């Protein structure tokens, strides 16, 4: 699934790049051709104006006027040799510039000249009233301006499409992973149900047969532990019921369970307020989170070191930190450790921290993250709302 998602993302990006390049090339060619055509049209228009200034009895004024009046889309300003405005077409002046339209038109003409959009028309007849030299200044038409901006709009739309498509693929991937986790968890709980029931029955039989055997108490603890594990798996995928729980007592239960099962070279310690600290949690699932963090810490320390569970209050939250003296986590892996499948162990599925994040953030509305890490150890922090 992961390889297929990567391939689809690569294909989407490649297609987007090809479309973008093709769009830019085609649009640039169209803009260049249209710009050249508008230049030719303005040269014809300027020649018509020159012909009008030289008009005599033999001049076909109908043709000249038809050419000049035919320009109804290219903005044009005609200047004399002293930058005086002789004529302008296809330019709308707003209320702010209407009062001093000549100055506004001269400024527009200067911008056109700076772009190189100017055609000089020579008038050599000394008897004509029109100045000897006039300049026809023009700007891009509305169509050409829109076509110039169109590729960038298209690129934005394509980029948005690619981003939405990638997010949709990632969401689909996460949804499929969630279904796998939920199905696996519930099936595990279902499969554990039968042997646990059998063990409970055999435990009662043994109690009646050997009522004073000290081993039966330990057996009862392990059976109870299996019941807790099955309950945890059954709660994955459904919204758990949250209750006010004593966090100090909960942490104590975890330490009581982890301590005897860890190496005697692992020292566990707890630091929390003297008074009772309560929060609305699902106790079986939250115990699972702390157990996971402790077990990962033991693995990181290779069975030798110190683990400290520290709980404290801040303004609007309760924080629980689990610190170890292990080998640490690289800074660029702080987020990756919570991804499904990420693991540094030879054995394991890499789902422990992923499930811990799901339990803390989705079920309890809190946060879990790597607070700090170095070669001397790592600290995970959980934040719960009061």
Every domain of the chain and the residues it spans: 2-146, 241-385
DSSP labels, 112-172:
HHHTT-EEEEE---TT-SS-SEEEEEE---HHHHHHHHHHHHHHHHHHHHHHHHHHHHHHH
Low-confidence residues of the chain: pLDDT under 50: 1
pLDDT score, position 7: 77
Is the separation of the CB atoms in 316 and 366 below 8 Å?
no
Residue with tokens 């892996």: 333
Tell me what pLDDT residue 45 has.
86
pLDDT of residue 137: 92
- Residue 277's Cα: distance from chain center in Å? 37
Q: In terms of pTM, does the model score above 0.85?
A: no
At 366 the pLDDT is: 93
Select 241-385's CATH number: 3.40.50.2300, 3.40.50.300, 3.40.50.1820, 3.30.565.10. Answer: 3.30.565.10
Q: What pLDDT score does 5 carry?
A: 63
User: What pLDDT sits at residue 213?
Assistant: 80
pLDDT of res. 11: 81
Protein fold of 2-146 = Beta-Lactamase (3.30.450)
């Amino acid at each position: 699934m992961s390889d297929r998602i990567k391939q689809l993302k690569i294909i989407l990006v490649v297609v987007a790049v090809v479309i973008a390049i093709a769009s830019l090339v085609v649009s640039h060619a169209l803009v260049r051709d249209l710009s050249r055509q508008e230049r030719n049209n303005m040269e014809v228009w300027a020649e018509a104006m020159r012909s009008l200034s030289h008009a005599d009895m033999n001049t076909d004024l109908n043709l000249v006027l038809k050419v000049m009046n035919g320009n109804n889309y290219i903005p044009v300003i005609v200047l004399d040799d002293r930058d005086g405005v002789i004529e302008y077409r296809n330019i709308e002046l707003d209320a702010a510039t209407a009062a001093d339209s000549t100055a506004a038109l001269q400024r527009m003409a200067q911008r056109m000249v700076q772009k190189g959009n100017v055609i000089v028309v020579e008038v050599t007849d000394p008897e004509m009233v029109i100045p000897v030299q006039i300049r026809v200044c023009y700007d891009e038409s509305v169509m050409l301006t829109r076509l110039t901006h169109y590729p960038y709009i298209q690129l934005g739309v394509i980029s948005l499409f690619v981003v939405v498509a990638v997010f949709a693929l990632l969401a689909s991937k996460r949804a499929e992973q969630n279904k796998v986790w939920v199905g696996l968890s519930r099936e595990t709980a279902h499969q554990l149900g039968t042997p646990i029931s059998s063990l409970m029955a055999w435990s009662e039989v043994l109690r009646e047969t050997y009522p004073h055997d000290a081993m039966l108490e330990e057996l009862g603890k392990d059976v109870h532990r299996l019941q807790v594990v099955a309950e945890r798996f059954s709660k994955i995928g459904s919204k758990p019921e949250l209750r006010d729980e004593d966090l100090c007592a909960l942490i104590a239960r975890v330490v009581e369970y982890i301590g005897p099962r860890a190496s005697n070279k692992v020292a566990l310690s707890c630091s929390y307020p003297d008074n009772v600290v309560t929060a609305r949690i699902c106790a079986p699932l939250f115990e699972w989170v702390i157990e996971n963090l402790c077990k990962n810490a033991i693995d990181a320390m290779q069975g030798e070191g110190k683990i400290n569970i520290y709980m404290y209050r801040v303004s609007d939250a309760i924080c629980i930190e689990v610190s170890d003296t292990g080998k640490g986590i690289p800074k660029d892996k702080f987020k990756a450790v919570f991804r499904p499948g990420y693991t540094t162990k030879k054995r394991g599925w890499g789902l422990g921290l992923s499930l811990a994040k799901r339990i803390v953030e989705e079920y309890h509305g809190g946060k879990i993250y790597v607070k700090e890490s170095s070669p001397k150890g790592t600290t995970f922090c959980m934040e719960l709302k009061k």
